[in-house]
Structure 1
Amino acid sequence: MRGLAQLLAVLAVATAFALALARIVHLLHMLQLEEYDIRRFVHWVALHVDYLAANPMLDLLGLLGVVVLFLYLESASSIVIACSLSIVIGLAGLLWELRLWVRSPVKKALVMTPRARRLLGCAAILSAGICLVPFAGQARLALAIAWLLPTLAPAVLVISRTIMEPIEASIRDWYVRDASRILAGFAPTVVGITGSYGKTSTKFFTAQLLESRYRVLMTPESYNTAMGICRVIRGQLGPEHEVFVVELAENEKGGFEHLLSLVPCSISIVTSVGLQHLEEFGSEAAIRRVMKEFVRMPRSGSTVVLNADDPVLAEIGSVQGKRILSASAGGSLSSDLHAENIVMSADGLSFDIVMSQDEQFACHTKLLGRHNVENILLAVAVARELGVSWNAIQDSVATLQAPPHRLQVMAGAGGVRIIDDAFNSNPAGFAMAMEVLAAFPSRRVLVTPGLVSLGKAEDTENIEAGRQAAGAADTVILVGPKKTRPVREGLLSAGFPETNILTARSLEEVTGLMRSLLTPGDTVMFENDLPDTYNE
């Protein structure tokens, strides 16, 4: 009997360990989506306690662990009974965890990068140590700890992240040094693009305009942090590249000094100063200060192009040692180039580009959204600064492609038009998107989870977003009943029919709703698509 008790104790610990690892893998996904930021991850855990408790087997196993802490298992038979019960609960918990994974498909799966593998390895070693070390002393304590381990998985992952940070910092420093060496060796002209919003679109347009004359490398998608930029430099940059167009995150840890030490710019663009990432910065004043400091930094380039329609950027006058250029879609005659005669429709944009010396060039693009005129002008300013001809610019503007998930128009099933604006998550962009949606014929369906990362202004901005949506959409599907309450409030305050407001908990539910809702000729706009950490 004692031999059976020992075998079952080992199996009980192994089952609990497997369940803990399954839960750690899920939490690692959430930590990765939060960019490995412990503060944001802990905040997510605090807001999703009910979600973490969706597997009742974890609670039962934890309860068994607490009971064993206070209940002496003196006989072999009592150990056999307790361990058998633990194994059954643990196996049921693993099946339950698998069921949760199947029923909750993710938008962006966990990517097992080297960093993720190192962190998972550390968590596994720490978990194994927590389970096995007490066996050297008291088996009862070891069993209790093992059974509590799946419930304590968030704490295990946070501790592992803390343990690994010095190692990760050393690895990051090596990557930065290596990328800096490669960049300096090839010495392309570096065009840096930053701003609260509009960075990615402006980056895409700048690269497309410059490709008519230069061999260009652009950081893909939203690669805008030091590690993302290092990955592009080390993996893609070569001697053939004459221009490197790089997006710079305004909320990168270490600030712009850290990014610009990696990629000192020849020319840079500042697209906007807004509320995006207000939660991280703390205040609008802090965002304005950071953006103004960027313009003055020596490594932001000898030439800086500013959006003259942004009131904060418009305040920036001359800067010692810098050539400041400005571009305006609002017709500011004092800017170096501005747009006139803007016509927006469901077929795209038409406008004239006017230089300060009265040169005027007619342009047309299939891109949607009035705000894209600003982004195009900023790109044109850089292209002209680097010697691209006006004829080449006009031809390139006509063929510009929208970045993925930014007002992309696609043909959906059954004759439905899809406007994918899933990566738009700021108030200004939301307002512009509603203007675009309103330009299409009825019926117009908006799918949105609202806006996030706006700190104390979040509810107010979402109420205003609801009011704007009321004037553009015929039907609104809100994703997430709790977080979209302010959007609903804004819709109703603008007189939008409550019967035309539908609510879903996930995009999977949205798909089900649309099957019965949509008819040929309808237009559906997906506005913002929050990561899985926002699932309700």
Structure 2
Amino acid sequence: MRGLAALLAVLAAGTALALTLVRVLYLLHMLQLEEYDTRRFVHWVVLHVDRLAANPMLDLLGFLGIAALFVRLESALSIVIVCTVSIVAGLTGLLWERRLGVRSPVKKALVMTPRARRLLVCTAILSAAICLLPLIGKGWFAGATAWLMPLMAPLVLVVGRTIMEPIEASIRDWYVRDARRILAGFAPTVVGIAGSYGKTSTKFFTAHLLESRYRVLMTPESYNTAMGICRVIRGQLGPEHEVFVVELAENEKGGFEHLLRLVPCSISIVTSVGLQHLEEFGSEAAIRRVMKGFVSMPGSGSTVVLNADDLVLAEIGSVRGKRIVSASAGGSLSSDLHAENIVMSADGLSFDILMSQDERFACCTKLLGRHNVENILLAVAVARELGVSWNAIQDGVATLQAPPHRLQVMAGAGGVRIIDDAFNSNPAGFAMAMEVLAAFPSRRVLVTPGLVSLGKAEDTENMEAGRRAAGSADTVILVGPKKTQSVREGLLSAGFPEANILTVRSLEEVTGLMGSLLTPGDTVMFENDLPDTYNE
């Protein structure tokens, strides 16, 4: 009987370890989505305790662990019974986790990068050491620890993340040094693009206009952190590239100083100063301070192109050692170049670009959204600084394509028009998207989970978003009952019919609605698509 008890104790610890590792794998996915930021991950855990406790087998194992702290099992029979219950609970818990995963499919799966593998191995070793304590420890305290492990998975992952940080810091430093060496060796003209929003679109437009004259490499998608930029430099940059267009994250750890040491710019653009990532910065004043500081940094280049329609950037006058070029889509005649005669429709944009020397050039594009005129002008300013002809610029503007998930128009099934504006919405972007939606004929359907990362301003901005949506959409589908409550209030306060507001828990439910809701000729706009960390 003693031998059986010992065997079952090992199996009980093993099932507890297996369940812990399954939990750790799920939590590692969330940590990765939070960019391995411990503070943000802990904040997510606190807000999603209900989801972490959705498996009742965790509670049963936790109960066994707590009971083991107070009740000492003397007989082999009692140990056999308790360990058998633990094994059954552990195996059932594993099946339960699988069931929860099937019910909540993810939009972006865990990417097993080298960093993710290292952290998983570290956490697995740490978990195994704790779960195997019953074999080497004395008393039931060790057993209690093993049974409590699945509930303690968030803590174990944070401890593993802390243990690995010095190693990860050393690896990051090596990558940065290697990327700097490669960049210095090839010495392309570096165009850096910073701002609260509009960076990715401006990056795509800038690269496209420059390609008529130069061989250009652009950081893909939203690669805008040090490690993402290092990956592009080390994996793609070659001697053939004459210009390197790089997006710079304003919330990168270490600030712009860190990024500009990696990629010192020849010329840079600042697109906007807004509320995006207010939660990370803490205040609007901090965002303004960071963006203004970027302009004066030596690494931002000898020439900086500013969006003169942004109130904060318009305040920037001369900067010692810099050439400031301003661009305006709002008719600022004092700008170095500005747009006039802007016409927006469901088919695209047309406008004239005027230089301060009274040169006028007519442009048209299939891009949607008045805000894209600002982004295009910033790209045009860089193209002119680098010697691209006006004929090439006009041809380039005419052939611009919307970056993925940024007001992309697609043909859906059954004669339905889809507007994909799912990437990272912000208050200004939401307002512009509603203007675009209003340009299409009825019936217009808006699908949105609202706005996030706005700190204390989030509820206010979501109410305003709801009011704007009321004037543009005929039907609104809110994704997430809790987080869209402020959007609903804004819709209702603007007189939007409550019967035309539908609320679902996930995009999968939206798909189910579409078949019965839509008819040929309808327009559906997907505005913002939050990562899996925001699932309710």
For normalisation by structure 2, the TM-score amounts to 0.99
Q: Does 1:454 align with 2:457?
A: no
Looking at structure 2, the residues matched to 343 and 482 of structure 1 have their Cα atoms a distance apart, in angstroms, of 38
Counterpart residue number, 1:497: 497
Deviations 1:148-199 (A, max 9, x none): 1000000000111111111111110000000000000000000000000000
Equivalent positions of 1:10-409 (< 5 A) are 10-138=10-138, 140-409=140-409
Looking at structure 1, the residues matched to 320 and 152 of structure 2 have their Cα atoms a distance apart, in angstroms, of 55
Deviations 1:454-503 (A, max 9, x none): 11111111000000000000000001101101100100010000000000
Letter in 1 for 2:529: D
The CA deviation at 1:134 is 4.8
8 Å CA contact 1:343–1:349 kept in 2: the answer is: yes
SS of 2:249's equivalent?
coil
Looking at structure 1, the residues matched to 239 and 375 of structure 2 have their Cα atoms a distance apart, in angstroms, of 29
8 Å CA contact 1:478–1:484 kept in 2: the answer is: yes
SS of 1:342's equivalent?
strand
8 Å CA contact 1:424–1:430 kept in 2: the answer is: no
Looking at structure 2, the residues matched to 368 and 412 of structure 1 have their Cα atoms a distance apart, in angstroms, of 18
Looking at structure 2, the residues matched to 282 and 72 of structure 1 have their Cα atoms a distance apart, in angstroms, of 51
RMSD: 0.7
Looking at structure 1, the residues matched to 141 and 90 of structure 2 have their Cα atoms a distance apart, in angstroms, of 18
Letter in 1 for 2:113: T
Looking at structure 1, the residues matched to 137 and 500 of structure 2 have their Cα atoms a distance apart, in angstroms, of 65
Looking at structure 2, the residues matched to 257 and 68 of structure 1 have their Cα atoms a distance apart, in angstroms, of 53
Looking at structure 1, the residues matched to 322 and 459 of structure 2 have their Cα atoms a distance apart, in angstroms, of 40
8 Å CA contact 2:440–2:523 kept in 1: the answer is: yes
Looking at structure 1, the residues matched to 144 and 413 of structure 2 have their Cα atoms a distance apart, in angstroms, of 54
Counterpart residue number, 2:441: 441
Counterpart residue number, 1:534: 534
Looking at structure 1, the residues matched to 346 and 261 of structure 2 have their Cα atoms a distance apart, in angstroms, of 43
Looking at structure 2, the residues matched to 443 and 17 of structure 1 have their Cα atoms a distance apart, in angstroms, of 54
SS of 1:150's equivalent?
coil
Looking at structure 2, the residues matched to 371 and 54 of structure 1 have their Cα atoms a distance apart, in angstroms, of 43
The CA deviation at 1:135 is 2.5
The CA deviation at 1:143 is 2.1
Letter in 2 for 1:249: A
Deviations 1:187-244 (A, max 9, x none): 0000000000000000000000000110000000000000100000001000000000
SS of 1:343's equivalent?
strand
Counterpart residue number, 2:512: 512
SS of 1:464's equivalent?
helix
8 Å CA contact 2:10–2:135 kept in 1: the answer is: no
8 Å CA contact 2:13–2:134 kept in 1: the answer is: no
The CA deviation at 1:516 is 1.2
SS of 2:45's equivalent?
helix
Looking at structure 2, the residues matched to 518 and 337 of structure 1 have their Cα atoms a distance apart, in angstroms, of 43
Letter in 1 for 2:277: H
Letter in 2 for 1:121: V
SS of 2:280's equivalent?
helix
Change (3 A) 1:424 1:39: closer
For normalisation by structure 1, the TM-score amounts to 0.99
After superposing the two structures, state which structure 1 stretch, 507-516 or 240-249, moved more: 507-516
The CA deviation at 1:141 is 2.8
SS of 2:397's equivalent?
helix
Deviations 1:48-69 (A, max 9, x none): 0101011111111111111122
Deviations 1:57-85 (A, max 9, x none): 11111111111221111111111101111
The CA deviation at 1:507 is 0.5
The CA deviation at 1:139 is 5.6
The CA deviation at 1:140 is 2.7
The CA deviation at 1:448 is 0.3
The CA deviation at 1:136 is 1.7
Looking at structure 1, the residues matched to 220 and 34 of structure 2 have their Cα atoms a distance apart, in angstroms, of 20
Percent of aligned positions that are identical? 88
Deviations 1:349-405 (A, max 9, x none): 000011100111100000000000000000000000000000000001000011100
SS of 1:396's equivalent?
helix
Looking at structure 1, the residues matched to 506 and 301 of structure 2 have their Cα atoms a distance apart, in angstroms, of 44
The CA deviation at 1:137 is 2.7
Counterpart residue number, 1:487: 487
Q: Which runs of 5+ in 1 are unaligned?
A: none
8 Å CA contact 1:276–1:454 kept in 2: the answer is: yes
Looking at structure 2, the residues matched to 520 and 55 of structure 1 have their Cα atoms a distance apart, in angstroms, of 43
8 Å CA contact 2:191–2:268 kept in 1: the answer is: yes
8 Å CA contact 1:406–1:424 kept in 2: the answer is: no
SS of 2:446's equivalent?
strand
Letter in 1 for 2:439: A
Looking at structure 2, the residues matched to 141 and 255 of structure 1 have their Cα atoms a distance apart, in angstroms, of 46
SS of 2:521's equivalent?
coil
Q: Does 1:478 align with 2:478?
A: yes
Deviations 1:389-432 (A, max 9, x none): 00000001000011100000001111111000001411000000
Looking at structure 1, the residues matched to 349 and 13 of structure 2 have their Cα atoms a distance apart, in angstroms, of 64
Looking at structure 1, the residues matched to 424 and 156 of structure 2 have their Cα atoms a distance apart, in angstroms, of 35
